[in-house]
Amino acid sequence: MKHIQMRMLQLGLLTLFLACYAHLAAAQGGDWNRVVDGINIHLGVQPAEMVQGAAKTPQGKSAAASDRYHLVVVLFDASSGKPVDGAQVKTSVAQIGLSSERRTMEPLHAKNSANYYGNFFTMLPGMGPYRIVVEISGVKDHGRMETTFEYNP
């Protein structure tokens, strides 16, 4: 039962990501797709409360801080369109000119859908732009790949 609930949660998160992805990309006016060495790299940025739900503190405030964001990376083979499995993904987030926060993106798997990688980062609204560097390794027949995005919360 617990396994089914986890799968449902993962599928729900992926569905939420994909639904919000186009909307957020259009709203930010950003370019959220890169092709590096034959791999399509898609980046999604969502407020953490969209992923963590509407959990409230005892004082009635949102448990997800307004400066927390969930970053998601989805990888596809550029020629076949098939999802890329087994990658190791690390992401660094920094205000331009300042030190970065670097995290391993956790692999999340949804049945009948693309695998994706995600983690939470702090980005202060109005303090951007932020440089987001995505590093990918462990993809068969590919070396280490890296690409950079900018995001302004």
Task: Name the token pair of 151.
Answer: 């995001």
In DSSP notation, 39-104 reads EEEEEEEEEHHHHH-S-B-TTS-BSS-TTEEEEEEEEEETTT-PBP-S-EEEEEEEETTS--EEEE
Question: What CATH number corresponds to the domain at position 108?
Answer: 2.60.40.3340
Residue 7: is its pLDDT beyond 80?
Answer: no
Beta bridge partners of 76: 40, 83
- Measuring CA to CA, which residue among 72, 71, 70, 66 is closest to residue 126? 66
What's the CA gap between 47 and 68, in Å, rounded? Answer: 6
Contact 84, 75 (CB under 8 A): yes
Residue 3: is its pLDDT beyond 70?
Answer: no
Domain that holds residue 92: 2-151
Q: What is the pLDDT of residues 79-129, one digit of tens each?
A: 999 988 889 999 999 998 888 999 999 998 766 666 789 999 999 888 879
Considering its fold, how many domains does the chain have in total?
A: 1
Q: What is the pLDDT of residues 46-58, one digit of tens each?
A: 988 887 664 444 4
Query: Whole-model pTM?
Result: 0.72
Task: Name the token pair of 144.
Answer: 């280490």
Q: What is the mean pLDDT of residues 123-141?
A: 90
Contact 41, 75 (CB under 8 A): yes
